[in-house]
Structure 1
């Protein structure tokens, strides 16, 4: 189905969400038509953030908003759906559009498998009427479903469209780019050169895939790295848990701007715990690149000042490899809680692969390394 027809049938003029590769057609359409427009389209930090924003839109206008997300974000909406939107509380209507990763019977990455199995079950449990849209769904069929959904929405309840792979199409292209020069994979290569045998916890998406391939190219063991293939936004908390319990090791967290924004409160916790063996690196390209390149708000933020305000002992931003190498070597021997923002370009190799080891193997090898003498 052409995404223009899909949007026309929904007949809503406010969209907010977290980008998803399964919803690339919708995301690109919204960026082409609206860009980032506070009146019509806002990319939020996480899915709960979107849901609350949508609630505010309804309170102010009386209209029905649309919240879009990958199905991995369902966990983030459970609280605002159950305790804010639900018809036993404020009865705030909302249309959810959810990309179905890990659909049973469709090959996908390990972090999507269980989430895919429970996608519709979670919606049922939250009393959200849902309909699966696939490549065979017709506009007339969608209109009939939407007609039924209108009465549900009028009663202050929520509905959802679960979008299968390739169900929505959009022919126009959107180019996402910035003015930064450094390539993320090369940034991670420089980090690996300096960290040596220090443990690295890397964030969800292409950063972990690139770290894996760098180890392969260098004929290095993968035991040094914990690749956070799911749970976006939580890599710094994972690294904090490791750092607290392995004070003799220098722990490095390689994070992304979208992930950092998703659960930014973790920075406050890291700063308050103040582990002196923790280095937090945020590769900031101002984009949700792994799922298509749609923008985050991080390019307009002073992450260094935020890190310092959260309690990081040392915080700096770099935009070239000479400064990056200098700062990496400096913080390696500082024995203080440190933060480095690295300004990166958008883009990755077309032939970028995925880890060839399983998530369980990654965990077990990493744990053996952490507990070796």
Structure 2
């Protein structure tokens, strides 16, 4: 295995000192080390992977240095446009070192298995050269020497693919500490407990959907009222909007996260413009990409309710404890929608948190049967 400190220091010696991207569980150790050891100006956790490519391009043009962009392989989709229309050798020819976590190479969740199968194909289609980084430090260093030489020679992008377990464990030290009383799971339980029974939930990817699923199991409730968005980070609100507009007699609740909201914030504008009278958008904000290592987001520095109001939501509030959340849910009226509730929470989750035992396609089928009623 590779020590994150050795990997990082090698890049610094090679004059690669700017890092941007979206955190990934397979890269959490190296990303945590970068977070702890790089200035805020030289390490920017981007809203999405396409933004990261653009940030890196701007950095290169300003400094004439090679930037590093990191992402999970599922983020390649967000990065395709700037990779092909900005940094590509037939357009602006901008050098990049890309570090991509290879989710789905082996046994994994369905959405990762699919992405794992096509990771190399996507890079081949874009004509981006790549290699799988060896987990032996000496071999990996030789690979990196060759990769950086290639980037300097061609002035183009090169990707290194990272398998699970490539890096030694490293836990982020500079965690944001808060005094908020609720965990995300606490908030989810309060939301479910306030339901009247006819509502439909679209939950965002990661631990949010996992915790929702397990609470339904705990309460011995069916799962057909919940669409568990196992992938498609940032898109849960638009799934919810598509449902809300076509099922105006059903109340639709989107349970979102701060990282997901930031990734596709333009969705707020579309919700506000469409003005569905039955959509409640709940954003659980713990200020971190917790599911993939705890790297911070910028969400605690934003006034999310005011952003929602500016995007023509009819009502938007921020709450920070159980009593405030319960009151905010009870105060909603037919004139409140589309409505947004931001819930400020602390980070953390159960060590024994499981994963949904239902297949995604079965979840969709059961959910659609409920919608048809």
Per the TM superposition, whether the score is higher than 0.5 is: yes
Q: Decide whether aligned partners of structure 1 residues 171 and 254 sit closer, same or farther in structure 2, where only a CA change above 3 A counts.
A: closer
**Deviation by residue 1:342-365 (Cα, 9 ceiling, x = unmatched):** 001100111111101110110000
Counterpart secondary structure, 1:363:
helix
Could you say which residue in structure 2 is the equivalent of 1:83? 85
Q: Decide whether aligned partners of structure 1 residues 118 and 224 sit closer, same or farther in structure 2, where only a CA change above 3 A counts.
A: same
Q: For this pair of structures, how many residues does the alignment match? A: 367
Could you tell me how far apart the structure 1 residues matched to 2:116 and 2:271 are? 31
Contact 1:153–1:159 (8 Å) recurs in 2: no
Establish whether residue 254 from structure 1 lines up as the match of residue 255 from structure 2: yes
Could you say which residue in structure 1 is the equivalent of 2:149? 150
Contact 2:190–2:326 (8 Å) recurs in 1: yes
**Deviation by residue 1:274-321 (Cα, 9 ceiling, x = unmatched):** 101100000001100111111000010000110000010001001111
Using structure 2 for the length normalisation, give the TM-score: 0.95
Establish whether residue 292 from structure 1 lines up as the match of residue 293 from structure 2: yes
Could you tell me how far apart the structure 1 residues matched to 2:150 and 2:204 are? 42
Correspondence 1:255-334 to 2 at 5 A = 255-331=256-332, 333-334=334-335
Correspondence 1:165-314 to 2 at 5 A = 165-171=164-170, 173-174=172-173, 176=175, 177-195=177-195, 196-314=197-315
Could you tell me how far apart the structure 2 residues matched to 1:203 and 1:325 are? 21
**Deviation by residue 1:10-68 (Cα, 9 ceiling, x = unmatched):** 3311000111110011111112212x611x21111000010000000000000000000
Q: Decide whether aligned partners of structure 1 residues 341 and 97 sit closer, same or farther in structure 2, where only a CA change above 3 A counts.
A: same
Could you tell me how far apart the structure 2 residues matched to 1:63 and 1:189 are? 48
Task: Report the alpha carbon displacement of residue 368 of structure 1 after superposing the two structures with TM.
Answer: 0.1
Task: Report the alpha carbon displacement of residue 193 of structure 1 after superposing the two structures with TM.
Answer: 1.4
Contact 1:239–1:251 (8 Å) recurs in 2: yes
Task: Report the alpha carbon displacement of residue 8 of structure 1 after superposing the two structures with TM.
Answer: 3.3
Q: Decide whether aligned partners of structure 1 residues 148 and 242 sit closer, same or farther in structure 2, where only a CA change above 3 A counts.
A: closer
The answer to which of 355-364 and 178-187 deviates more is: 178-187
Counterpart secondary structure, 2:194:
helix
Contact 1:130–1:159 (8 Å) recurs in 2: yes
Superposition RMSD in Å: 1.5
Task: Report the alpha carbon displacement of residue 173 of structure 1 after superposing the two structures with TM.
Answer: 4.9
Task: Report the alpha carbon displacement of residue 330 of structure 1 after superposing the two structures with TM.
Answer: 1.9
Could you tell me how far apart the structure 2 residues matched to 1:336 and 1:299 are? 24
Task: Report the alpha carbon displacement of residue 146 of structure 1 after superposing the two structures with TM.
Answer: 2.7
Could you say which residue in structure 2 is the equivalent of 1:64? 66
Task: Report the alpha carbon displacement of residue 133 of structure 1 after superposing the two structures with TM.
Answer: 1.6
Q: Decide whether aligned partners of structure 1 residues 72 and 360 sit closer, same or farther in structure 2, where only a CA change above 3 A counts.
A: same
Q: Decide whether aligned partners of structure 1 residues 222 and 87 sit closer, same or farther in structure 2, where only a CA change above 3 A counts.
A: same
Counterpart secondary structure, 1:331:
coil
Task: Report the alpha carbon displacement of residue 102 of structure 1 after superposing the two structures with TM.
Answer: 0.3
Q: Decide whether aligned partners of structure 1 residues 288 and 175 sit closer, same or farther in structure 2, where only a CA change above 3 A counts.
A: same
Could you say which residue in structure 2 is the equivalent of 1:160? 159
Task: Report the alpha carbon displacement of residue 144 of structure 1 after superposing the two structures with TM.
Answer: 4.2
Instruction: Find the partner of 1:98 among 86, 100, 112.
Output: 100
Could you tell me how far apart the structure 1 residues matched to 2:190 and 2:117 are? 39
Q: Decide whether aligned partners of structure 1 residues 332 and 23 sit closer, same or farther in structure 2, where only a CA change above 3 A counts.
A: farther
Counterpart secondary structure, 2:361:
helix
Could you tell me how far apart the structure 2 residues matched to 1:61 and 1:319 are? 43
**Deviation by residue 1:171-216 (Cα, 9 ceiling, x = unmatched):** 4653634332111111111111122330000001101000001100
Contact 2:33–2:170 (8 Å) recurs in 1: no
Task: Report the alpha carbon displacement of residue 123 of structure 1 after superposing the two structures with TM.
Answer: 1.1
The answer to which of 347-356 and 325-334 deviates more is: 325-334
Contact 1:250–1:332 (8 Å) recurs in 2: no
Establish whether residue 26 from structure 1 lines up as the match of residue 30 from structure 2: yes
